[in-house]
Amino acid sequence: MKPFFLFCSILFFGACVFNKEITPPNIIFILTDDQGYGDLGIYGATDIETPHIDQLASEGAMFTSYYATQPVCSASRASILTGCYSDRIGIHNAYSPGSKVGLNPEETTIAELLKEKGYATGIFGKWHLGDAPEFLPRKHGFDEFFGILYSNDMWPKHPQQGTVFNFPDIELYENETPLYILEDQAFLTKALTDRAINFIQRNKEQPFFVYLPHPQPHVPLFAADPFKDTKIEDFMEM
């Protein structure tokens, strides 16, 4: 498993304190898998163009220091959702498909805390905190889940399949239901984003928490046709 780096964008709207007389802030948490500090234009990247992310940073708060508790997928995600050092809650690796362990249902996640405050909660993307029924997102405070249960490279098309690994098919899930087997992942980034937007539109009259952990740009890399071979001026027209 490659080292795991995080880019997090947390957008707060409205007041930043919980008060019966003040509308609670909506929260959107965008997590991009394996994206490093130097992969964004706002932080100096010259070979990758990220105009929309750069705009978010320039119009909001831009941070220059961030620490992940572990350089692997499951452990980092456990820390993000629970606020705990991942080793303390027994997660220090990246779970493989069919793992018998996952995020302990006894742990409290940010989704559960916000749900107690009246928030609608949704996750759209990669979970990777256990794929057994007792560990799925809706067991940890999320109202809705649309995405994949572990890393996008854990599938039969892995270059070491049959030698080092023997991964099963990877499936796209809606809540606890597998929809279909993923043969191509080019559509996934847009599909996850569209689901997140739909969730926001449906819950705009109440506070909401959107967790959008995109599988990309973790390898294998995929881009939808409209985004292939584009330049910055093409992005600005989208």
- Structural domain contains residue 103: yes
pLDDT at 17: 45
Q: Which residues are catalytic?
A: 73, 128
In a domain, 152, yes or no: no
Q: So what's the pLDDT on residue 3?
A: 36
Non-local (6+) Cβ contacts of 221 within 8 A are none
153 part of a folded domain:
no
Cα 37 from Cα 235, distance rounded (Å): 21
Which pLDDT score, from 0 to 100, does residue 236 have?
Answer: 53
Number of domains in the chain: 1
**pLDDT confidence of residue 82:** 97
Instruction: Please report the pLDDT score of residue 233 as a whole number.
Output: 57
Q: Which residues, including other chains, have CB under 8 Å from residue 211's CB and lie 6 or more apart?
A: 29, 31, 81, 111, 121, 122, 123, 124, 125, 142
Q: How high is the pLDDT of residue 6?
A: 41
8 Å CB contact between 137 and 158 = no
* 177 in a structural domain: no
- 22 in any annotated domain: yes
Q: Are 95 and 86 in contact, with CB atoms under 8 Å apart?
A: no
Domain residues for the domain of 12 are 8-119+129-145+186-236
Domain contains 107: yes
Distances (CA, A) of 187 to 16, 26, 31, 215: 35, 27, 18, 12
Asked whether residue 171 is assigned to any structural domain, the reply reads: no
- What CATH number does the domain containing 228 carry? 3.40.720.10
pLDDT at res. 48: 85
Structure-token pair, residue 173: 């899930």
pLDDT for the residue 234: 56
Residue 209, SS3 per DSSP:
strand
Q: What is the pLDDT along the chain (238 residues), one digit of tens a residue?
A: 333 334 444 444 434 444 556 789 999 999 999 998 889 999 999 988 889 899 999 999 888 888 888 989 999 999 999 999 999 999 999 999 999 999 999 999 999 999 999 999 999 999 999 999 999 999 999 999 999 999 999 999 999 999 999 999 999 999 999 999 999 999 999 999 999 999 999 999 999 999 999 999 999 999 888 877 776 555 455 5
| Six token digits for residue 179 | 């929809």
